[in-house]
Amino acid sequence: MAIFVNENTKVIVQGLTGGQGKYHGLRNRDYGTQIVGGVTPGKGGQDVEGIPIFNSVAEAVDATGADASFAAVPPRFAPGAILEAAEAGIGFVVCITEGIPAQDEALTYNRLVRDFPNTRLLGPNCPGIISPGKCNIGITAGEIAQNPTAEGPNVGIVSRSGTLTYQALYELKQQGIGVSTCVGIGGDPVPGTSFIDCIREFEADPETHAIMMLGEIGGSAEEEAAEYITASVSKPMAAYIAGVTAPAGKKMGHAGAIVSGGKGTAQGKMDALSAAGVKVGLNPTEAGELMAGIVKTL
């Protein structure tokens, strides 16, 4: 088991003929992911290293039976690409695009909720998702992820930041801990998939025994997750929040990472998670060690 994607997931890459799409799409295939097609309007009939290109997502779905999409297209085309995938019946869309205007992002999210409730969007501006040994969609370097074991214990990871996601995978690999699925939800203001969405799935996934969460300053997603954890999560958790030293009022790279009006501070988030029974580390390594400690007791 894993959450959202597994060895049976069939993926098309929107933008496979572009630089990023090709590089990461092929890397995902090399990892063992079933990359069954690519979509680039006007380039249907061509192929990228044997992967057939289609003019539309609908055509690609008809021909390949794809159920997931990896959207690697520029910001101005990303909202259209996401909605096209949803319209074609794709159930899981991973969008790595950084720099989509917030207005477009909010509109796209609400359109999905209203018109395509069966499509889950991961991202945008996220590193993607990896179920180690089974499926890797996005930009994560697969070799840093430790495969889960049948008997466990395995950890599920959910993170708001790309590089911190890799850091978490790396820390767990150093500790020899298997990962069921690692989800990067992205650092934008309106992520399609939230911490809570992932934690709920991990809680229900029999192959996941503990959950690691990496948050950052800005917004209230971590605080909301803490409330959810208190009410509904039985599996042990460790967490790390980036941005303890971030000055207020400055956007720390991510569009969503800003402390404003005294809200969204790292300390507030750490306190909320601690109160929910989550073990909180002061840096990614410490969070990894805390998780190792948890795993030993399982």
Partner 1 sequence: MDLFEYQGKQYFARYDIPVSPGGPADTVDEAVREANNAGYPVVVKAQVQVGGRGKAGGIQLADDEAAVREHAGNILGMDIKGHTVRRVWVEKASDIDEEYYVSFTLDRAEKQHLMMLSAEGGVEIETVAEENPDAIVKLHIDPVDGLTAERARQACVDAKLPERALDGATDIIVKLYRCYTEGDCDLAEINPLILKPTGEVHALDAKVTLDGSAEFRHPEWEDFKGLTEMDEREQMAAEKDLQYIGLEGSVGIIANGAGLAMSTLDVVNQVGGSAANFLDIGGGANADVMAGALEVINSDDSVQSIFINIFGGITRGEEVAKGIVEAMGRVDLRAPIVIRLDGTNAEEGRQILLDAGIPADKLRSEPTMLDAARAAVALAD
Catalytically annotated residues: 254
CA–CA separation, 61 and 48 (whole Å): 17
Helix (H, G, I), strand (E, B) or coil at 74: coil
Number of residues in contact with partner 1, rule: CB under 8 A?
Answer: 62
Torsion of CA 282, 96, 5, 178, to 10 degrees: -30
Considering only residues 141 through 170, tell me which ones interact with partner 1, judged by CB under 8 A.
141, 144, 159-167, 170
In terms of Cα–Cα distance, which of 59, 61, 83 is closest to 71? 83
Least Å distance between CB 10 and partner 1?
Answer: 23
Q: Verify binding: residue 205, partner 1, rule CB under 8 A.
A: no
In terms of Cα–Cα distance, which of 248, 26, 216, 225 is closest to 126? 216
CB 157 within 8 A of CB 183: yes
In terms of Cα–Cα distance, which of 96, 71, 84 is closest to 14? 71
Least Å distance between CB 130 and partner 1?
Answer: 11
Binding mask 56-95 for partner 1 (x = CB under 8 A): -------------------xx-------------------
According to CB under 8 A, which one of 47, 62, 65, 106 is a site residue for partner 1? 106
- Which parts of this chain interact with partner 1 (CB under 8 A)? 20, 24, 75-76, 98-104, 106-107, 109-111, 114, 127, 139-141, 144, 159-167, 170, 187, 189-190, 214, 216-217, 219-221, 224, 240, 242-247, 250, 252-257, 261, 266, 282-285
